[in-house]
Structure 1
Amino acid sequence: MKYTTLPNTDIKVSKICLGTMTWGNQNTQDEGFAQMDYALNNGVNFFDVAELYPVPATKETYGETERIIGNWFAKTGQRDKVVLASKIAGTGDYTAHIRTNGFSKEALHEAVNNSLKRLQTDYIDLYQLHWPERDTNYFGVRDYKHNTDDEWADNFNEILYNLDEIIKAGKIRQVGISNEKAWGTMRYLEESKKHSLPRMITIQNAYSLINRVFEGDLAEVSYRENIGLLAYSPMAFGVLSGKYVKGLATENSRLNLFPRFSRYSSKQSTEATKRYLKIAEDNNMSLAQMSLAFVNKRPFLTSNIIGATSINQLKENIESINISLSDEVMKAIDTVHAEIPNPAP
């Protein structure tokens, strides 16, 4: 395994992070336990979860993934070996069953306290805002269109102030953002500098061969402000395993179970995936490992969040850390990217 540190801290994390959003839906508790055992035994010390997991989010399964992790901590006593990240859900119809008061003081305290109970721990190492409260282009919306009816009011300072209270209470150690844009990222950093408030140290956004939009404004923000990318969906919901274009996907595969998750399934995405598959096969790699090795190589990456529904998938994903892509492969990848740039927003 290879390691880095969470920016501006001495917290050492593996460059492969164990994603958990299928546990409690596609995966049982026993399967989640097996994945955590395997990951930790193979050098992965960074686990990422969220209060709304598993996905798709429902009232009936709310918090189940955190409960599974908490039960594993209770069973194994391995909490001190794991850097644990979780998230408070953002607002919207999708999460109305959780709460409707956004990132207010009451919401933040309630969310953290409930997560700590489910996780059976006294602290969370990295606590993230799952998506912005304001109306912006997150979750696969390609272009920003200003909504003049958006009633959101600037509350960056208030959020950081309330997070500071929770940090001082010892319940969380560091804070981060997720599904954010460049403007929101800089606003948080501006408030922390100006008012000596907690600094957002990471940004968890989608990043993969078919979604490299982070390489726009956010890449420069990442470099100049030292805010590290936690890349999610590096396999594009399994599309970049090649199983869908090869016709090998099972009935239990993610997109067959949940066809609503079509973010990575456009005609352009499919064509790009076919071209990336050929590059991988021409160089004696699986598309999955080439896709993950590409993300692992990015200079703005702090950690690559992988997700798997089987131990075999998990093994293949973790082993991607040992794959080095040649200059010729990188040139071929960039050629496809130039011809079909960011087909999945």
Structure 2
Amino acid sequence: MNSVRLGRSDVLVSPICLGTMTFGEQVSEREAFAIMDRALERGVNFWDTAEMYAVPARAETYGATETIIGHWLAARPGARAQVVLASKVAGPSRGMPWIRAGKGMTAADIIASCEGSLRRLQTEVIDLYQIHWPERHVPAFGNLYYDPAKEVTQTSIHEQLQTLAQLVQQGKVRAVGLSNETPYGVHEFVRLAEQYGLPRVASVQNPYCLINRSWDNAMDETCDRLGVGLLAYSPLGVGLLTGKYDQSGLTGPAAPQGTRLSYPSVQKQRWGRPEALEAARHYNALAREHGLTPTQLALAFCYRSWRVASTIIGVTSVAQLDENLDAWGVQLSEEVLTQIDALRWKYRDPGQ
């Protein structure tokens, strides 16, 4: 895998990124160590985490993922220089008061969160520091529509950028990014950065997979023209695109135990919609018709898309990691890509 540049920054990463949000919930520290060792061995040098992880989010596991990564880095002298490390500051509370009081995300909040992440990660610098979700009200996480009546923003984008600039100037952050963003947000962050000489966003981490291609409806043009890279998360649709739910269903005792969708909190989210499973079953069937596994089809779709800078894969075992990395060699024919588009036309984006 050749390295790719994130946006117009000087940060070079592998085109596959190790997502770590399962560490500390589904994955023990011992298992996480084995996964990180294997990822680095196979050339994946880009790892993504966040202050709010592990997930599903709860007070008891807040910061657990970063802590595990920090323990791994401390136990592997020299490893930090080999890893491009990304983390995120949580946006406004979203029902998680253990992250911070109130509903906003002030400059002081951003600084405190970054310093907390640095401590847990046992590092002096975060290579890519991202805003996990916008401080303002946006359609995200299954909410389809923007509603100005729900706007409660307290910290302007300009102030957020100024605060991120402070962290960059102090050497605590190399580059900045966004997550769960909209075209307006990306344009505004870039406009203000260019106008005031502030850090330019290098990337946006948004969902992108066969059952959620909402990125293809404006965000792709926005980020291509502005030179901002996509970090595609949930490329397997929280497991729906692996085929593991094709027979069992999504909820109750039928859902495979230990999987993301066996958690009631996840079942209530966008990925738990019956329409999402129905669409996923058709993509999974398409994969099998062409001699591929569902995982190979779903990952190859992201791996080979011009829209994607790096694809974030989340795993719970070394075996899953190897399966996902082995899919790097899969090429999709024009016939398969045409059939994928036909299914999207029919089922749209039920995981949006």
The TM-score range, normalised by the shorter chain, is over 0.9
1:294 is matched with 301
In 2, Cα distance between equivalents of 1:87 and 1:53: 10
Q: Look up the SS of the partner of 1:71 in the other structure.
A: helix
Matched, 1:326 2:333: yes
Matched, 1:257 2:263: yes
The range that moved more, 202-211 or 3-12, is 3-12
Deviations 1:155-187 (A, max 9, x none): 111111111111010000000000011111111
The structural deviation recorded for 1:256 is 1.2
Deviations 1:122-148 (A, max 9, x none): 00000000001111111111222222x
Residue identity matched to 1:109: I
Deviations 1:250-306 (A, max 9, x none): 311111134534412323222221211111111111101110110111112110000
In 2, Cα distance between equivalents of 1:143 and 1:319: 38
In 2, Cα distance between equivalents of 1:2 and 1:213: 27
The structural deviation recorded for 1:6 is 1.2
Q: Look up the SS of the partner of 2:270 in the other structure.
A: coil
In 2, Cα distance between equivalents of 1:258 and 1:75: 35
Identity %: 40
In 1, Cα distance between equivalents of 2:89 and 2:11: 21
Answer whether contact 2:261 2:272 (CA < 8 A) is retained: no
1:45 is matched with 45
Structure 2 unmatched runs, 5+: 249-253
Answer whether contact 1:136 1:144 (CA < 8 A) is retained: yes
Answer whether contact 2:241 2:281 (CA < 8 A) is retained: no
Residue identity matched to 1:120: Q
Q: Look up the SS of the partner of 2:220 in the other structure.
A: helix
TM-score relative to the length of structure 1? 0.96
Answer whether contact 1:2 1:321 (CA < 8 A) is retained: no
Question: How many corresponding residue pairs?
Answer: 344
**Pick from 104, 107, 110: which aligns with 2:109?**
107
Answer whether contact 1:136 1:146 (CA < 8 A) is retained: no
Give the direction of change, closer, same or farther, for the CA distance of 1:339–1:93 in structure 2 (3 Å limit).
Answer: closer
Deviations 1:17-56 (A, max 9, x none): 0000010011100111011001110010000000010011
In 2, Cα distance between equivalents of 1:9 and 1:199: 8
In 1, Cα distance between equivalents of 2:67 and 2:313: 20
In 2, Cα distance between equivalents of 1:154 and 1:79: 33
Deviations 1:76-103 (A, max 9, x none): 1200000000000111243211113633
2:287 is matched with 280
Residue identity matched to 2:100: R
2:73 is matched with 73
Answer whether contact 1:57 1:94 (CA < 8 A) is retained: no
Answer whether contact 1:308 1:314 (CA < 8 A) is retained: yes
Give the direction of change, closer, same or farther, for the CA distance of 1:336–1:326 in structure 2 (3 Å limit).
Answer: same
2:145 is matched with 143
Answer whether contact 1:210 1:343 (CA < 8 A) is retained: yes
Q: Look up the SS of the partner of 2:59 in the other structure.
A: coil
The structural deviation recorded for 1:153 is 4.3
Answer whether contact 2:229 2:309 (CA < 8 A) is retained: yes
Residue identity matched to 2:57: A
The structural deviation recorded for 1:154 is 5.8
1:23 is matched with 23
In 1, Cα distance between equivalents of 2:168 and 2:221: 28
Give the direction of change, closer, same or farther, for the CA distance of 1:266–1:89 in structure 2 (3 Å limit).
Answer: same
The structural deviation recorded for 1:68 is 0.3
1:117 is matched with 119
Structure 1 unmatched runs, 5+: none
Q: Look up the SS of the partner of 2:95 in the other structure.
A: helix
TM-score relative to the length of structure 2? 0.94
